[in-house]
Structure 1
Amino acid sequence: MPTANPTHSHRIERLERGLFYGLLALLFWLPIPLGSHRPWAWALLEIWSFGLMGGWLLVNTYSPRLHSLRPYLPLLVIFGVFQLWVALQQMPLPMGLLQSIAPDTAAHYLAANPQAATGTLSLDLNHTHVGLLKGLSYWCLLFLLLALVNSAQRLKTLALVVVLTGTFQAFYGVLMALSGAETSWGLGLPNSHIATGGFVYKNHFGNFLVLCLCLGIGLLIASLSKSKALSIKEMLRGTLAMLLNGKAVVRLCLAMMVIGLVMSYSRMANTAFFASLSITGVLGLLLIRKKSRSLTVLLASLLVIDLFIVGSWFGVDKLRDRLENTSFAQETRDEVNQYGMTLIEQHPIAGTGGGSFYSTFPSVKGPGIQTFYDLAHNDYLQFAIEFGLPATLLLGAVVLWSLALAFSALRNRRNSLMQGMAFSAVMAIIAELMMLATDFHLQAPATALYFMLCLAVAWMARFMKVERAR
């Protein structure tokens, strides 16, 4: 192993710091190119993430720091095992073994070639290979988040970057919606009065803003005063301090994101945001020890000001009309769920292969569905179809584990930043669990990675060591 010297150590630390800023730049970039939901965009994501991972491995060679990731090992192992399963779906298996694991898949190959000696678990190798490369880049970014965000200051910086990213997307989306332009700036896509930001699909935009809002609310909670009783003089002093130290800027950013969320007219995103805020707010008031009166005031202001005042100016009435006019008779997503269950019954263990919904669903859809569905509009259904029930339940278990750790941090951590980040993780996970039932949010790299970021924040809030202030 190379011998260390002060100059060499300084270069290694500078490289490590550069990797952290490179990670933040990637997080800011992810939603800009259509949510990175295009082949060229996710190819750039893969190159960027693999490059950062290579840089961290170089840093670890000269300055070993793998031991610091020990508390996060279960999270990394479970996501790593999932990627191994996707790789296994592409491997040629003896037909006898394939018949025992996935008899319907084996029957598919034998129907095409009765003499076939091998077959793969995936029915769409090309899309599964694409999904594996994306999944590996996701794992690398999860690893880098846990490895590089290794202090309370960096965790706070990460949350600030997420808030700034969400604010930029909301501002751009609202500006485009109000501009009246026929096409979007930059990529020339059709533009309407609906805010979509850097995304094409308004529901992905709404989902992204919800996750950013959760981190922003966590930051505000982390900055609240711990004192329970305040005099008028102290309240005025606290208000002035808030205006000077940046809390007011964060609050304005949250208001901007709420405007963007309302103007997306995404029914489920808006419902999930206010429902998760209400649920987590009640839980926070019950679980957080030594909570201040300002926490109750903050939560009340988020609901009252953002929903009833800001929302009324920017189209909450239109959103309400969309919710009231929602009819299952006009929607075919419930029929997609019904027909999709047939695929789960046919391939319960091994699935049909990552990314294969596009090519396998037409074989089971009924005459009532005239629209072509390349995605299931239900991530629970799509994951179960493509990866099988065991792999899907494994991912569900790690999400619920992360939620439990965030609950534990909310209850037991004394550091205000860790409490705030735990609050944001609980809120984000609850909101995402609601939204995944009605759309394909985890199929877009930007929203998928930001949800993984929220899972990582839950583990950091529980296990990150914080130096005590003197």
Structure 2
Amino acid sequence: MDKIIPFLFIFILIFSPLAFGTVETWSLAIMEISIFLCLLMLTIKNKNLAFYEVPGIIPFALILIYILFQLIPLPPALLKIISPETYRIYQDTVFISGLNSWLSISINKKQTLLEFLRISSYAAFYFLTVQMLTDRKMLRKTVYVIIIFASVLSCFAILQHLLSNNKIYWLRELPYGGSLFGPYVNRNHYAGLMEMIFPLIISIFLLYKPHLHYVSLRDKISALFNLKSTNLYLLIGFGAILTATSVFLTLSRTGIISLCISMIVFGMLFMLRSIDKKRGIIIIIIGILIVLSVGWFGWKPIFERFEKLKEARYNIEETRLQIWNDSIEIVKEFPLTGTGMGTFINIYPRYRTVPGNAVAAHAHNDYLEFFTDGGAILYFLCLLFLIVFAYKVFKAFSKRKDIFSIYIFIASVSGIVSIIIHSATDFNLHIAANGLYFTFLFGLAVSAANTRMHHNLNNTNLRELKISVKAILPIIVVLFLLVSVINSGFLTGEFYFSKIKDIKITDNLSSDELQEIRSASTRASIFDPLEAEYFYASANIEWLLANKEIAKMRYLKAVWLNPVNGEYLQRLGLVMSDFKKYDIADKLLRAGIDFDKQNISRYKRYVAWLFAIGRNDEAKNIIRKAIIIEPEKTREFVTIMILKKLDDYEILSVLPEMPVPYFIFADYLLKTGNEKMAEIIYTNAFDFIKQDSNFPKSYIFSIKNYYVKKGRLDEALNFMKKAEMFFPNDTKIKINIGDIYEKLGIKDKAADEYKKVLTLDPNYFDAKLRLERLSAKK
């Protein structure tokens, strides 16, 4: 056991980043079970001894108790007092469905339980780190292993970057939205890990600096390369350069800034302890080497990434400011308790103003997300932990004289500061591997401030806990079993559901296939009874098998587990409609839109239902709202209205006064032969262009092409001339005008248009080619 425990401890630190940052169920399960197993084995080994006190462990425990409180079902009256907006969510979803049970603060119990397990494992690892690293040999060994691991990992990451086939380890395909670097799907999270470890490498590099006492530079260089420690010193320095270079190559803006600030913090703490100031020069030299190393690969991509902050529009990662504004609205409505840890992905669609269908799983600001999920209570408990930790640890550090301990403490604090800064623009602390290293650095700082490095002294300055290890053992056994059983359930449920997840449920499936899907979804829900998706899938099968009452109950269960999922709410609404409960159906279908405001599918389903029951005017109003949100979807809604026998003038009355819907509808009218009405609509559409700064010009060219194809060149020219009035510096519009002039045989005017293009863009190759062709004809 003496060998297994240290091995398992190191395994956790190495495995977590390598397992794609530990963001999947299987890797989370391995990490969490391994941590509690390691803690259990250490407890059994030391059952006749005592554990040492861990600074801030009581506030950490209070954080866990609070997360558990978010999971506890509460009476509706009490919930209304504690979190009025959460109560209103249940009132608009669960209560109108006919369920009147007690409900929790968390709007998604599964997600909150996952967060409880993850943060519990952090607390256990923090406790474990402090206990393990009271052994001076283990402290040194751990530091050296982390440095070697980071150096090797950064070398691999750089190689993978240079020889990338867009697969992690050259084997695994990226999920959608990924931007890989090293073993991480997201380059920002790789940068987050490395910026935490980098100060540790620098500290050991400075510690191993050879001491030379020669006068001349030549003698110093000669002596340097004759020392046994020189190779190790240079190797550590090379590892530092590799690590920092890999961070720069991620092009992570905040990662680069955080790395630089961590070095400033390192230097400040270095000076505050009055350590040899000459060694500060070495930090500057390393900085220069890093800059030169990155310069080898080019600075241009990095500067381009910084520029994107101003230009970003529809990429979720590049719309942070908009997501932050939306998140502030969540905080305003759930100020005290939040919506439950891990539930940002569920509540955000209700407040989302970012267009598009990309999933925003996180706020891209850990502090905002902690507030949306945990409210002011969580903030207070986290602040309490930091205050208690800082007071006790810095007090112990001020008395340290051992140089190794001082360097490691400064490195740990610098790493903590770097990720605290980075988390202001990303969700590093929600990535399990990075969160693990964050808590590891806290434990390392405690150990560096208290572990005694000399053999003739006691192991640590930390006091022994008054509670005996034997008393703690049953608690750790229960926690280990709890983590193991819950994670096993999650994995088993995921295994069964993976068999049917990608199967599209239709009437074309055979009876055997339906029974197989039914069996798999039922088993998945048994092993993981908090996953709403399993009950929803099971309900769909039961409905298809005409077991309507059973299907209704399972839809209700899915809504109870996740009352803000627009899909579940609307499907339950349609079921209620089938049971002739139209009032409930209407509320649920409308709630589906309210909780998923940017998802046009929600609007389409409600519109179809309204038309089906004859509420045409309401359907038209919903269509108008949907088109305002996503004008590009106009064609789909026009199709729906045509199928419902609305004439052209009725459809026009529904469309909002925006250029894109008008252009799309006019295009439809041209294709159906109503050219006169189409031309009127085009004229009106141009009047609306001024109101839409994001108007896509492709619509203009499609109409021009239509006129040209019909041989109506004069109309095409007039149309493009009108477009030019709105976009006077658009080279493509001018090229198209010149092209029409050519077709009309007016060569001089065509040449004038091409010259205008070259005035705006001298490198426009097509314009040059057209001019040369015209000149040759003359």
**Aligned match for 1:312, one of 287, 295, 306:** 295
Indicate the structure (1 or 2) with the bigger Cα radius of gyration: 2
> Aligned pair 1:78/2:63, yes or no?
no
CA deviation after TM superposition for structure 1 residue 219, in Å: 2.0
**Matches of 1:468 and 1:388, distance apart in 2:** 47
Structure 2: 5+ residue runs without aligned partners? Answer: 458-778
**Matches of 2:339 and 2:229, distance apart in 1:** 55
> Aligned pair 1:450/2:431, yes or no?
no
Structure 2 contact 108–340 (Cα < 8 Å) conserved:
yes
CA-to-aligned-CA distance 1:235-270 (integer Å, 9 cap, x gap): 754564364572222211111112211211111111
Matching of residues 190-201 of structure 1 within 5 Å: 190=174, 196-201=181-186
CA-to-aligned-CA distance 1:280-333 (integer Å, 9 cap, x gap): 313422x123x22541222112211112x2121133442133224431654321
* Alignment correspondent of 2:309: 326
* Alignment correspondent of 1:214: 199
CA-to-aligned-CA distance 1:356-411 (integer Å, 9 cap, x gap): 01111111112556642011111001111111122123224434554566655665
**Matches of 1:37 and 1:268, distance apart in 2:** 21
**Aligned match for 1:53, one of 3, 16, 39:** 39
User: Aligned partner of 2:203: which letter?
Assistant: G
* Alignment correspondent of 2:327: 340
Structure 1: 5+ residue runs without aligned partners? Answer: 1-14
Distance verdict in 2 for CA 1:374–1:367, change over 3 Å: closer
* Alignment correspondent of 1:5: none
CA deviation after TM superposition for structure 1 residue 197, in Å: 0.8
Structure 1 contact 102–121 (Cα < 8 Å) conserved:
yes
**Aligned match for 1:94, one of 60, 75, 81:** 75
**Aligned match for 1:173, one of 157, 161, 172:** 157
User: Aligned partner of 2:195: which letter?
Assistant: V
Distance verdict in 2 for CA 1:337–1:400, change over 3 Å: farther
Normalising by structure 1, report the TM-score. 0.87
Cα-Cα RMSD: 2.7
Distance verdict in 2 for CA 1:297–1:91, change over 3 Å: same
CA deviation after TM superposition for structure 1 residue 93, in Å: 1.4
Structure 1 contact 378–436 (Cα < 8 Å) conserved:
yes
CA-to-aligned-CA distance 1:136-190 (integer Å, 9 cap, x gap): 2222211211111113332221111221222222122111111143533364224
Matching of residues 100-179 of structure 1 within 5 Å: 100-111=81-92, 112-113=94-95, 116-179=100-163
**Matches of 1:417 and 1:403, distance apart in 2:** 20
Structure 1 contact 409–461 (Cα < 8 Å) conserved:
no
Structure 1 residue matching 2:67: 3-state secondary structure: helix
Matching of residues 346-385 of structure 1 within 5 Å: 346-366=333-353, 368=355, 371-385=358-372
**Aligned match for 1:280, one of 266, 278, 282:** 266
**Matches of 1:362 and 1:48, distance apart in 2:** 35
**Matches of 2:225 and 2:278, distance apart in 1:** 11
User: Aligned partner of 1:124: which letter?
Assistant: N
User: Aligned partner of 1:113: which letter?
Assistant: F
* Alignment correspondent of 1:18: 4
Structure 1 contact 332–369 (Cα < 8 Å) conserved:
no
Of stretches 100-109 and 315-324 in structure 1, the one that deviates more from structure 2 is 315-324
Distance verdict in 2 for CA 1:166–1:401, change over 3 Å: farther
Structure 1 contact 209–261 (Cα < 8 Å) conserved:
yes
Matching of residues 244-283 of structure 1 within 5 Å: 244=230, 246-283=232-269
**Aligned match for 1:466, one of 448, 453, 461:** 453
Distance verdict in 2 for CA 1:153–1:367, change over 3 Å: closer
Structure 1 contact 184–190 (Cα < 8 Å) conserved:
yes
**Matches of 1:328 and 1:76, distance apart in 2:** 44
**Matches of 2:34 and 2:328, distance apart in 1:** 37
Structure 2 residue matching 1:353: 3-state secondary structure: coil
Structure 1 contact 152–417 (Cα < 8 Å) conserved:
no
* Alignment correspondent of 1:12: none
In the alignment of these two chains, the number of paired residues is: 447
CA deviation after TM superposition for structure 1 residue 19, in Å: 0.5
